Structure 1
Amino acid sequence: MSLTQTIPVLDLQLFQADDFNRQRFIIQLGHALETNGFFAIINHGVDAMLIQSAYQAAQHFFELPTATKCQYEVPALNGQRGFTSFGKEHAKDNAAPDLKEFWHIGRELSPAHPLAAAYAANLQVAEVPQFHPVMTQLYAQLEACASKLLQACALYLGEPETRMAEMVRDGDTILRIVHYPPIPLTTDPASLRAAPHEDINLITLLCEATDDGLELLQRDGSWLPIRSLPGQIIVDSGDMLQQLTNGLLKSTTHRVVNPGSDRDRRFSMPFFVHPRKDVDLTPLPSCVDKTGTQQFPSITAGAYLMQRLREIGLVP
């Protein structure tokens, strides 16, 4: 019996179709982000074989000895590039460590680009030569998909189509490659693979994970499992989008639960779409008009990110 998805499934091809279907997609996207902050997309333009190649490269890296992996953990990078070791990150307002290790790949700009100095260089994995090329290609395809989604989001809000896509052009977007290893016997009972949290950024694109485990918190307080199905990318809105829209679009709490067997492991690849650091996240006047008084303070994306990195333990 085939599994069905538990959240709305949208077809991105509709956004590039005739006016009727384009508008239908925009309304579906906006409604999903207003109600539960999550949806899945198909026909997203991200190559399925590329995703599988990325997971193979990830497995090769995370199977390296711990001492080898830790050579790529550079404290000065605050976890924004390279490796972050197991148990280092925790959710905001939760002291128990998450049961994961991960790698971050960020934007690459030419040395002549005005923002080149704003971003740290990506690290290269000498032991897995295919790692960086395949992840860089995946980054580019996910970014193209994210741009279309942000265009649809802007149109739903009554803003110019390029309003949000322009915010993330040359932005601080991060591809995270996550390994959730088998659960150690000495694990803190309070620890989950990822404790309940909201994403920091505007939107997140989550390539089909290698196993289920992702759950979102519904308004009635229950947890809804989200399926990891071939051909689907899960999309959710982050705190920056909630801030920008004055709460009109929701940033929904979610988690990754521990597996039934302590021998199971899981890989996932979330793509965190961030604005440039200087982008003003003051709520849009059009959204304040729809929601009442301004609910969120003025702040830049860079200041917002740094504040959250401190809260989750990546910045001292």
Structure 2
Amino acid sequence: MAEAKRPVIPDVRLPNHGGDWTAEDKARVAAEIGAACRSGGYFFLYHHGIDADLLSAVYEETRRFYRLPAAEKIKYNSSERSQFLGYRGLGREKSTAHAGAEACEQYRIGNTKGALGAPVAADFYHAPFEKGACLFKHLVDLGDRVLSACADDLGLPAADFDSSMNSPML
């Protein structure tokens, strides 16, 4: 019996580690992303410009936070008031797949719609994850560039998706 051939996940290599791109660079990246999205729907992205040291720092920051006692973590509890930024303890999330609660902890950083109510500020919820918030900003910028390339490949204006991405992760 013949083994099923595993699909190859395409590579997309960004020019200049995410810096300024020439028109040819933009066209190549747009075509590669478009082809990848049409074939399998996913791809590996290389030369994205996100420093490996930042990624390591985010992992360490995360380990440090989740090692804290529950009484410390709960100070950052997420709520409607925080626009759901912050900590969600064990069992706080309910599953749609079963009747029980999820056996995981979560912490959400991200953008908000305008200012959070006084005295709560988004910076308070980002405080335990300073490096994570920095990574989030880099990923939003990278996502904007990838979506711009998708728009280019579809023959749309490069900023066509911008209005849908004004407040990601709300």
Per-residue displacement from partner, 1:183-207 (whole Å, max 9, x unpaired)? xxxxxxxxxxxxxxxxxxxxxxxxx
The separation in 2 between residues aligned to 1:59 and 1:34, in whole angstroms, is 37
Does the Cα contact within 8 Å between 1:83 and 1:103 map onto a contact in 2? Answer: yes
Per-residue deviation at 1:97?
A: 4.4
Runs (5+) with no aligned partner, structure 1: 109-114, 175-273, 275-316
Runs (5+) with no aligned partner, structure 2: 1-6
Per-residue deviation at 1:94?
A: 1.1
Tell me whether 1:68 sits opposite 2:68 in the alignment: no
The corresponding residue for 2:11 is 9
Does the Cα contact within 8 Å between 1:30 and 1:156 map onto a contact in 2? Answer: yes
The corresponding residue for 2:41 is 37
Per-residue deviation at 1:166?
A: 4.3
Counterpart of 2:124 in 1: which secondary structure? Answer: coil
Partner residue of 2:108 out of 104, 107, 121: 104
The corresponding residue for 2:155 is 158
Per-residue deviation at 1:82?
A: 0.4
TM-score (structure 2 length as normaliser): 0.74
Q: How many aligned positions are there?
A: 158
The separation in 1 between residues aligned to 2:94 and 2:82, in whole angstroms, is 14
The corresponding residue for 2:4 is none
Per-residue deviation at 1:61?
A: 0.3
Per-residue deviation at 1:66?
A: 1.9
The corresponding residue for 1:121 is 121
Does the Cα contact within 8 Å between 1:10 and 1:41 map onto a contact in 2? Answer: yes
Per-residue displacement from partner, 1:86-137 (whole Å, max 9, x unpaired)? 243356x4125444322111226xxxxxx624798326379xx6x3432232
The corresponding residue for 1:204 is none
The separation in 1 between residues aligned to 2:114 and 2:125, in whole angstroms, is 22
Does the Cα contact within 8 Å between 2:77 and 2:88 map onto a contact in 1? Answer: yes
The separation in 2 between residues aligned to 1:117 and 1:89, in whole angstroms, is 25
Give the residue type in structure 2 aligned to 1:30. Answer: G
The corresponding residue for 1:145 is 142
Higher helix share: 2
Runs of 4+ in 1 over 6 A off after TM superposition: none
Task: Note closer, same or farther for the CA distance 1:44–1:86 as it changes in structure 2 (3 Å cut).
Answer: same
Per-residue deviation at 1:84?
A: 1.2
Name the Cα RMSD after superposition: 3.2
The separation in 2 between residues aligned to 1:88 and 1:6, in whole angstroms, is 38
Task: Note closer, same or farther for the CA distance 1:86–1:38 as it changes in structure 2 (3 Å cut).
Answer: farther
The separation in 1 between residues aligned to 2:8 and 2:70, in whole angstroms, is 37
Does the Cα contact within 8 Å between 2:82 and 2:116 map onto a contact in 1? Answer: no
Identity %: 23
The separation in 1 between residues aligned to 2:37 and 2:53, in whole angstroms, is 29
Tell me whether 1:28 sits opposite 2:32 in the alignment: yes
Higher strand share: 1
Per-residue deviation at 1:77?
A: 4.4
Tell me whether 1:136 sits opposite 2:133 in the alignment: yes
Task: Note closer, same or farther for the CA distance 1:118–1:63 as it changes in structure 2 (3 Å cut).
Answer: closer
